[in-house]
Structure 1
């Protein structure tokens, strides 16, 4: 039986082919093909105050617009505080208006009547004191009685002085210092109303964006604490995909590069996107003794901004990503 020999030339060709395959630098197409998952910007709707949910106007899957009232809380003391603040402001404004308008004729007559009455009382007290002073000089009354009449006269004199001063101030008009003080008080009362109004508005939670209700954690009538997420709203048009690229692929891409996003359930439809951000660090920190083989396992996180204007792509949807 004859032995079969493999031609030396064929062996050399095979060896050269293997060497080229393993050691000759292979060229790349310049594309990154990978997979990712759709993510969207989500907003937790949390009340600033605690209370019972009085009105809940949306449900899971509801489409809402920016500024739309999502729910309201019932907190009676907040509304009561607002009513009290408004009443105080109205009273302060009325007082200021009176000061700015000056004295009315009926006020002037009333103050003049007080002066006249105080004058009569003073004159009567003076006559009484003079009479008892004379009786005391004749030892007809005690010093105690005389002193009582003296005190009565002093009080009547003080009352007349005050009534006269008030009447003169009324005739001269309100002093500028009084008006300034009243104006400052009105401004402070306005601030109190604004603060109370803000607390009432905090009981009405509105949507910050156009979006979709993803989660609903409470129902009407339930008590919710301040800061607890009642709803989660997704801005479906603010969508992106996170992908991970190798060290070799990292050298082929840059921020701003276009990307194409495809979905298995939508054959032939391509969603446009672009590289919005590339992580400056590898996903895993390399060890000092890392080998050449292990370096190929390092990946970098890349954020792809996706055009989802028609809101076809949903959060959590797996997609294929191609970066030309």
Structure 2
């Protein structure tokens, strides 16, 4: 009989213990408030007044504000390189020179041809002057009855022919000038200049190489302003607009904050990622930022100056309402107060109404108390503005 009763007693004890354990677990998961008769140790802080920002945190890589690849529009052998990687250059500075012996010869020939054309034009002008004098002399003789009409007409014809030939000579001068200009332009093509002020980022050619229109010679970057391309989700895209201020930080210079602004937004979103590219321009007047650096961008979407804030830990969600517990009764009791919240930043949240500036709110222990609960404030850590 003992052997039968003993297992039964053991099973009953185990079952009762398991029921108590399950009930305690259920009560702890429900986070039931402590009875008002109990005194709960809590921590409380005073309200803080500070600026609160609603900001968007983004990441991207820096790239040059302007970047160009230098190429030659004509083919030719590279005879001289005046710059190298890292050199600072100015707009219009000569970078590369190509073999120009043939082009120089063509310029000399064009200059000589223009001189010949000018000389012919001058000689023809003298013929026009002589023909004009002869025509006036024949006209005078005809008026005195000495000359004949045939002589007058012949002199007039010679004058008209001389004028026509002068116009032809002038056209030859214009053509020679045009050919000279063309040959000089061809010579200028052998001298490649920088289109912008910046730095030489890379060099892809050596003296003696053959330059062609499809081969890059140098890469020039303007680092006066750099930019970063960040990808923004469709939920935040509508909050951004060109001109908004931004803060940019890079790992190379910890603690440094570089000012930037939203430069432009892509008009379409990527259907795969549901994000849009947004370009942030960053001032780089000190030349510290370099393309390729990892950048963390913070864009301020909204700013509430001198707002009243409390720690997020002080806010409790009770029955769908946002509430806080205010220390009252000389610091021995708490009072539940419904509040309306605004912007949140970090571990602080703005309180729009419901609290007075002199009140203290419960932080540690706020989920364990109820309205009218007796408490003991064990610490008041200073809440400071960021």
Please confirm whether the aligned pair reaches a TM-score higher than 0.5, indicating the same fold. Answer: yes
Counterpart for residue 147 of structure 1: none
Q: Does 1:310 align with 2:328?
A: no
CA contact (8 A) 1:30 1:252 kept: no
Describe how 1:92-131 pairs up with structure 2 within 5 A. Answer: 92-102=117-127
2:223 alignment partner in structure 1: 236
Q: Does 1:61 align with 2:48?
A: no
Distance apart, 1:65 and its partner CA: 0.9
String of CA shifts for 1:74-99, please: whole Å, max 9, x gaps: 03222222111111111001111112
How far 1:248 sits from its partner (Å)?
Answer: 2.2
Q: How does 1:218-297 map to 2 (within 5 A)?
A: 218-285=205-272
Asked if residue 183 in structure 1 is aligned to residue 170 in structure 2, the reply is yes
Distance 1:181 1:169 in 2: 19
Deviation at 1:168, TM superposition (A): 6.2
1:89 to 108, 111, 114: 114
Task: Name the CA shift for 1:191/1:13 in 2 (closer, same or farther; >3 Å).
Answer: same
- Tell me what 2:192 maps to: 205
Structure 1 position 44 matched with structure 2 position 57 = no
Contact 1:99 1:174 in 2 (8 A): no
| TM-score relative to the length of structure 2 | 0.57
- How far apart, CA to CA, are the structure 2 residues paired with 1:322 and 1:258? 9
Question: Structure 1 residues 251, 225: closer, same or farther in 2, change over 3 A?
Answer: closer
What are the residue-to-residue correspondences of 1:121-160 with 2, within 5 Å? none
Deviations along 1:190-220, one digit per CA (max 9) or x if unpaired, are 1111111101000000011111111111111
1:194 aligns with 2:181: yes
C-alpha distance in structure 1 between counterparts of 2:128 and 2:169, whole Å: 16
User: Alpha-carbon deviation of 1:263?
Assistant: 1.2
Instruction: Tell me whether 223-232 or 189-198 shows the greater mean CA deviation.
Output: 223-232
| Alignment gaps of 5+ in structure 2 | 1-12, 33-51, 131-150, 301-386
Query: CA 1:298 to 1:201, structure 2 compared with 1: closer, same or farther past 3 Å?
Result: same
Query: 1:248-296: per-residue Cα shift (whole Å, max 9, x none)?
Result: 22233222211111111212221111111112222234xxxxxxxxxxx
Higher strand share: 2
Distance between the aligned counterparts of 1:308 and 1:254, measured in 2?
22
Contact conserved, 2:128 with 2:159, CA < 8 A, in 1? no
Does residue 1:78 correspond to 2:103, yes or no?
Answer: yes
Partner SS for 2:181: helix
- Counterparts of 1:276 and 1:314, CA distance in 2: 18
User: How far 1:104 sits from its partner (Å)?
Assistant: 9.6
Secondary structure, counterpart of 1:193 in structure 2: helix
Q: How far apart in 1 are the matches of 2:214 and 2:126?
A: 49
Find the counterpart in structure 2 of residue 322 from structure 1: 298
Contact residue 103 and residue 170 of structure 1 kept, 8 A: no
Distance in 1, matches of 2:120 and 2:286, equals 59
**CA distance 1:11–1:225, change in 2 (3 Å):** closer
Cα RMSD for the two superposed structures: 2.8
Q: 1:104 to 1:183 in 2, by over 3 A?
A: closer
- 1:7/1:51 Cα in 2 relative to 1: closer, same or farther (>3 Å)? closer
> What is the distance in 2 between the residues matched to 1:7 and 1:50?
84
Indicate if the aligned counterparts of 2:198 and 2:220 stay in contact, CA closer than 8 A: yes
- Give me the whole-angstrom Cα distance separating, in 2, the residues matched to 1:170 and 1:316: 79
SS at match of 2:79: strand
User: 2:24 — aligned with what?
Assistant: 6
For residues 227 and 196 of structure 1, the distance between their equivalents in structure 2, rounded to whole angstroms, comes to 23
Question: Equivalent residue of 1:221, what SS?
Answer: coil
TM-score under structure 1 length normalisation: 0.67
